[in-house]
Structure 1
Amino acid sequence: MKYVIIFLLIFTTSHAQLTKPLEPKLENIKWIAGTWHGEAFGGITEEIWSEPSGGSMMATFKLIHDGKVVFYEIEVIREVENSLILQLKHFGPDLKGWETKDETVDFPLKEITENKVIFEGMTFEKISSNEMNIYVDIKNEDGIAETVKFNYKK
């Protein structure tokens, strides 16, 4: 019985340390920076994230299907009021915006751990220094929310 209690204490302590939330600082998520390639929506995806600077990180995204761009995104993660927020805008292949001029799609931060950045509706998961998954909650054509997984490699 003594060994079981010790094991549970060690397991609980080590598990808590692995998932301990980190401060909402760009420095704690800089592993997202880089040029990432993957596949989604039946096409090829590319997402390029900058290193943190000026209180933000920025990214561009594009989806290519049958050799043609389907859409682009501009994304930023900003430090705001002791937290982080991810904001993005979509653009068609002709660079005409989907959202209105002053509108953004916003994802407030929920939590950062050593290998995850969890925003409301979007999660970044570090698999290794050269691989990450991004999970995005998207409403399908019927208005039902589903989570789409993007697997990226550098």
Structure 2
Amino acid sequence: MPIYPTQAQQASLEALSWLTGAWRGHKGLDEIDEYWSYPAHGLMMGMFRWVREEKPWFTEHVTITQEPEGLILRIKHFNPGLVGWEEKEESVKFCAVELEPARAVFYRLNPDKPDLWMLYEHLEPGTLHSYFAQEGKEVAPEDKFVYRRFSL
């Protein structure tokens, strides 16, 4: 039995409005930022930046779209200079499988890879946690991305 569901859950994009805003944190000595637009017209847009030794290490462009099968999260990764990791027409794709007022669980839609879930949690005011969970593996505290809300 998987640790989280694997079937898409029908929900409105507005259920993720708590994710909206600017978030900043650290992974060890590295800086991490994540930014989310408000849900509108069936779309939320996100950006992620990882800075290592005061230089951009990589970025991500992320979307969550309202689709007939449910909420779909897509990620495209880029090295500095906007050099993409994925092929032109490809992205890493997840579907929402569990949504609560301050928690979202997305399941990776890739039959060639082991089960992987991406979680966002807004469990305390002004704090956002995001992390990946894999079947049969414990998520160590240092594997979580912990952000604090900040103003631009």
TM-score computed with the length of structure 1 as normaliser: 0.76
Aligned-CA RMSD value: 2.1
Show the counterpart of 1:122: 118
Show the counterpart of 1:9: none
Show the counterpart of 2:22: 35
User: In structure 1, how many angstroms separate the alpha carbons of the residues matched to 2:69 and 2:138?
Assistant: 30
Residue aligned with 1:99, SS:
coil
Note if 1:98 corresponds to 2:96. no
Residue 97 of structure 1 and its aligned partner are, at CA, apart by 0.4
Show the counterpart of 1:58: 45
Residue 136 of structure 1 and its aligned partner are, at CA, apart by 2.0
User: In structure 2, how many angstroms separate the alpha carbons of the residues matched to 1:146 and 1:38?
Assistant: 22
**Which of 131, 135, 138 does residue 135 from structure 1 map onto?**
131
Show the counterpart of 2:34: 47
Question: Residue by residue, what CA displacement relative to the aligned partner does 1:77-101 show, whole Å, maximum 9, x if unpaired?
Answer: 1111151011010000111100000
Amino acid at match of 2:72: I
In proportion to residue count, which structure has more helix?
1
**Which of 88, 95, 105 does residue 75 from structure 2 map onto?**
88
Amino acid at match of 1:96: V
Does 28-37 or 120-129 show the bigger shift?
Answer: 120-129
Unaligned segments of structure 1, at least 5 residues: 1-21, 139-144
Identical counterparts, % of pairs: 33
Amino acid at match of 2:145: F
Amino acid at match of 1:105: V
Amino acid at match of 1:79: Q
Residue 36 of structure 1 and its aligned partner are, at CA, apart by 0.2
Residue 54 of structure 1 and its aligned partner are, at CA, apart by 1.6
Does 70-79 or 41-50 show the bigger shift?
Answer: 41-50
Higher relative contact order (CA 8 A, sep 6+): 2
User: In structure 1, how many angstroms separate the alpha carbons of the residues matched to 2:133 and 2:58?
Assistant: 18
Amino acid at match of 2:52: H
User: In structure 1, how many angstroms separate the alpha carbons of the residues matched to 2:28 and 2:138?
Assistant: 13
User: In structure 1, how many angstroms separate the alpha carbons of the residues matched to 2:69 and 2:38?
Assistant: 19
Amino acid at match of 1:45: I
Amino acid at match of 1:153: R
Between Structure 1 and Structure 2, how many residues are aligned? 128
Residue 115 of structure 1 and its aligned partner are, at CA, apart by 1.8
For the pair shown, the structure with the greater C-alpha radius of gyration is 1
User: In structure 2, how many angstroms separate the alpha carbons of the residues matched to 1:93 and 1:137?
Assistant: 27
Amino acid at match of 2:74: Q
Question: Residue by residue, what CA displacement relative to the aligned partner does 1:22-59 show, whole Å, maximum 9, x if unpaired?
Answer: 95111111000000001126410001100001201001
